[in-house]
Amino acid sequence: MAKKKKRAARLATRSRRPIAARRSTARQPIRQTLDLNACEQFLLHEARLLDDGKFEDWLKLFTPEAWYWVPSEPGQADPFETVSLIYDDRRLLETRVRRLLSPRMYSQEPRSRTSRIVGNLTIEESGKDGYTVRSKFMMIEYRREQQRLFGGTALHRLVQSGGRIMIAWKRVDLVNCDAPLDGITIPF
Amino acid sequence: MHVMSEDLSNLVQPGRVHRQIYTDPAIFDLELERIFGVAWIYVGHESQVKSPGDYFRTFIGKKPVVLVRDAAGDIRVIHNQCAHRGSLVVANDNGNTDEFMCCYHGWTYHLDGRLKAVPLQHGYPENFDPSNPKTAMTQVPRVRSYRGFVFASAAADGPSLEEFLGHMATSLDDMIDRAPDGEIEIAGGVFKHAYDGNWKLYLENLCDAAHPIFTHRSSIDAAQQQSDAVHSDGTGEIAIRQMRQNGAPYSFWESQVGIWTYPNGHSYLGDYHDDAKLVAALKDPVFRDYIAAMEKKKGKAETRRVMEVRRWNSNVYPNLSFMSQFQQLRVVHPVAVDRTVVHTYNFRLKGAPEQMFRNTISFANTVNGTGSLVLTDDLEIYNRIGMGLSSAGAEWIEIGRGYRSDLPDAHGGRRGVNSTSEVYIRNMLDAWLGYMTAPTLSSPASGGGKYPAA
Ligand code: FES
Ligand SMILES: [Fe+2]
């Protein structure tokens, strides 16, 4: 019984997932300025936490059932049938963040420094339970004499809880998601 | 090429190997010729080219090739080079086509590589013969499939694929035997990861039972401290259990896990894991449907036999590693002496419940994912070895652990007294030496037999 319930919940979560970030933004009128501005302030705050290495604070932005997804294919439909560069349910996301804080995370010895720019925000969908915000980002990562440039599209599902904005899910589509890459350790 | 065979044979010695074989570009070039140009190299799986005209672009060593199913349904591996002025013909990673056409001057080729048509043919001299095999996209001389796993050898003769695989074929069998319908197919995408280090380091790490407790310390700790009460859709659960398992103490690796090696450099790590959610044989409820499907198709006795095969990573030297319990497969692509790219794939077990494949995907994300909490530390190790070996420190690399205690194996190989023996590295390097110093390029000496008496 419990198993059935869990499976139904999983399927329900899955059906809510967006397909790809390929909607036209032109026909999406900007909603209330305040909303877009609030979303932008939130995304900039998130980016800053990540650049500052405040991963625990970053984790606090996510809801208790949140997921975080970086697909391995352009337009990937699903994180269960195809591998992902990162697909973390809430439990794994906590483990990821705990590891990021470990002094024995050797792939972060020395640590990376990152700098990101977030922009081109549009509200893709808004309903009673939240907003889906689409944005573009560029992130420079410097580590051990090498600099890498990542860029792509992020979709955030933002919800309001206790007067705060929180992330119910986040999907990041890297431009080079199917390239041969050295390890990815710092979340986008 | 300034490296002589006599020099090469001095580089691999009992229990140690010279660092030069990981750093010298001239040796790397020789490896491409004498190992990747001779041995049976894993190319792809038949399920990647199911129908006539399906193709898959890959490499043998650094040579671009195309795995294709021709019009008659036969599997071919052809060099991805136009016979006219040398352009790469097939540019997409995979697809389906009636013919191959070069986009430079429009020469077209049949699916088996034979030349089909040449524009402006009247302009060529009279002795230009489009049916001459030299005007084809040349076929790799030997292509064989072992139950769907396609290997190719650029040497016109040499040991058969079956001889080459020897007892390691049983690991490939185990991949297939786990499918209730007796068939597997590649599915679920691919990871491509890269590091600045030599290609040999990759397989040398995959059976290394002594490293997880150090290298993977951060993910072991993070997983061990993780509360199970937190929401998971199942993905995190598989991942976290696997990471915790990596933290097994030495006593576990020295009592419950073994390492087996066979001629030609092959090896597998076995009898790993005691977590009922990760090992189907331990009959966690999650596996109940799967075991039932297996028993229905194969009977109870055969199902039990299959479930009791508990191999972890199996390595077929020089470029293949796979893991039958979670249907993973990794292909090593040497790029430069200090650069390697690895592609990893997953298999779907036909006839198995859908949840099995979801576990396969979760597992892949955990151990092979470019952003995984585990693999990223392995990549760090490959990069660090790449940097470390370029120092002027110790010239010789120690690979002697277990040297005095290794035992003969019933199937003609050699095994460690337990899994922490470095016998699998010694075995790979014996094969390496056999290929690199073989008198004729097409008949490599078999490895595994070069242990001087203690
Ligand atoms: S190079 Fe291919 S047709 Fe000329
Ligand atoms: Fe490892």
**ipTM of predicted complex:** 0.93
What one-letter code names the amino acid at B32?
Answer: L
What one-letter code names the amino acid at B27?
Answer: I
Of A81, A98, A106, the CB nearest to B361: A81
Alpha helical stretches, state H, B340-393: 354-367, 375-388
Do the Cβ atoms of B341 and B192 come closer than 8 Å?
A: yes
Closest ligand 1 atom to B86 CA: 1
Reported confidence tier of residue A33, pLDDT bands at 50, 70, 90: very low
Q: Chain A: give the shortest CA distance to residue B394, in Å.
A: 23
Q: Write out the H or E segment, with its range, that includes residue B240.
A: helix B235-245
pLDDT at A9 over 70: no
Closest ligand 1 atom to B87 CA: 1
Please tell me if the CB atom of residue B147 comes closer than 6 angstroms to any atom of ligand 1: no
Task: For each of the domains in chain A, give its residue range(s) and CATH number, in order of start.
Answer: 33-174 (3.10.450.50)
**E strand segments, B92-183:** 94-96, 100-101, 108-109, 115-117, 142-146, 149-153
- SS3 for A170? strand
pLDDT at A28 over 50: no
∠ CA(B98), CA(B100), CA(B102), 5° rounding?
150
Closest ligand 1 atom to B82 CA: 2
Side by side, which strands form the sheet with A113-127?
A84-88, A62-71, A164-174, A146-161, A130-143, A113-127
Pocket test for ligand 1, best of B79, B80, B87, B90 (most atoms within 8 A of CB): B87
CA distance B184 to B173: 11
Of A84, A99, A184, the CB nearest to B219: A99
CA distance A79 to A69: 8
Pocket test for ligand 1, best of B82, B90, B135 (most atoms within 8 A of CB): B82
Do the Cβ atoms of B207 and B272 come closer than 8 Å?
A: no
Which two three-digit tokens encode residue B96? 């389906």
Q: Chain B: give the shortest CA distance to residue A181, in Å.
A: 5
| Binary contact (B370, A76; C-beta < 8 A) | no
Of B194, B215, B225, the CB nearest to A106: B215
CA distance B247 to B217: 7
Q: Write out the H or E segment, with its range, that includes residue B34.
A: helix B25-34
Tell me which CATH code domain B43-146 carries.
Answer: 2.102.10.10
Measured between beta carbons, the chain A residues lying within 8 angstroms of B239 are 92, 95
Residue closest via CA to ligand 1's atom 1 equals: B85
Structure pTM?
0.91
CA distance B413 to B324: 20
In chain A, the N- to C-terminal Cα span, in Å, equals 38
Q: How far is CA B250 from CA A154, B303, B367, B396, in A?
A: 43, 31, 21, 26
Tens of pLDDT, residue by residue, chain B (454 residues):
456 776 899 999 999 999 999 999 999 999 999 999 999 999 999 999 999 999 999 999 999 999 999 999 999 999 999 999 999 999 999 999 999 999 999 999 999 999 999 999 889 888 888 888 888 999 999 999 999 999 999 999 999 999 999 999 999 999 999 999 999 999 999 999 999 999 999 999 999 999 999 999 999 999 999 999 999 999 999 899 999 999 999 998 888 899 999 999 999 998 767 777 778 877 788 799 999 999 999 999 999 999 989 899 999 999 999 999 999 999 999 999 999 999 999 999 999 999 999 999 999 999 999 999 999 999 999 999 999 998 888 999 999 999 999 999 999 999 999 999 999 999 999 999 999 999 754 444 443 333 333 3
Query: Radius of gyration over alpha carbons of chain B, in Å?
Result: 23
User: Would you list the domain boundaries of chain B?
Assistant: 43-146, 159-273+309-436
Contacts of A159 (CB under 8 A, 6+ apart): A63, A129, A130, A165, A166, A167, A168
Q: Write out the H or E segment, with its range, that includes residue B195.
A: strand B184-195
| Binary contact (A183, B380; C-beta < 8 A) | yes
Q: What is the pLDDT of residue B119?
A: 93
| Binary contact (A81, B370; C-beta < 8 A) | no
Number of residues in chain A: 188
Do the Cβ atoms of B350 and B290 come closer than 8 Å?
A: no
| Binary contact (B194, A180; C-beta < 8 A) | yes
Q: What is the pLDDT of residue B396?
A: 96
Do the Cβ atoms of B404 and A118 come closer than 8 Å?
A: no
Q: How far is the CA of B210 from the centre of ligand 2 (A)?
A: 9
**Residue linked to tokens 């650029």:** B154
Other beta carbons less than 10 A from residue B25's beta carbon: 10
Please tell me if the CB atom of residue B85 comes closer than 6 angstroms to any atom of ligand 1: yes
Residue B353 — φ and ψ, nearest 5°?
-60, 150
Question: Average pLDDT of A27-36?
Answer: 51
- Starting from the CA of residue B202, give the closest ligand: 2
Q: Chain B: give the shortest CA distance to residue A71, in Å.
A: 10
Reported confidence tier of residue A129, pLDDT bands at 50, 70, 90: confident
Closest ligand 1 atom to B107 CA: 3
Residues in a beta bridge with B55:
B68, B95
Is A85 part of the contact surface with chain B (CB cutoff 8 Å)? yes
| Binary contact (A92, B371; C-beta < 8 A) | no
Do the Cβ atoms of B406 and B415 come closer than 8 Å?
A: yes
- Starting from the CA of residue B118, give the closest ligand: 1
Closest CA to B414 of B275, B267, B303, B305: B267
Reported confidence tier of residue A94, pLDDT bands at 50, 70, 90: very high
Its CATH class, for the domain covering B159-273+309-436, is alpha beta
Closest CA to B79 of B38, B109, B104, B118: B109
Q: Write out the H or E segment, with its range, that includes residue B220.
A: helix B217-224
- Starting from the CA of residue B116, give the closest ligand: 1
Contacts of A42 (CB under 8 A, 6+ apart): A158, A165
Which two three-digit tokens encode residue B336? 């430069």
| Binary contact (A89, B357; C-beta < 8 A) | no
Alpha helical stretches, state H, B288-327: 288-298, 300-308
CA distance B273 to B258: 12
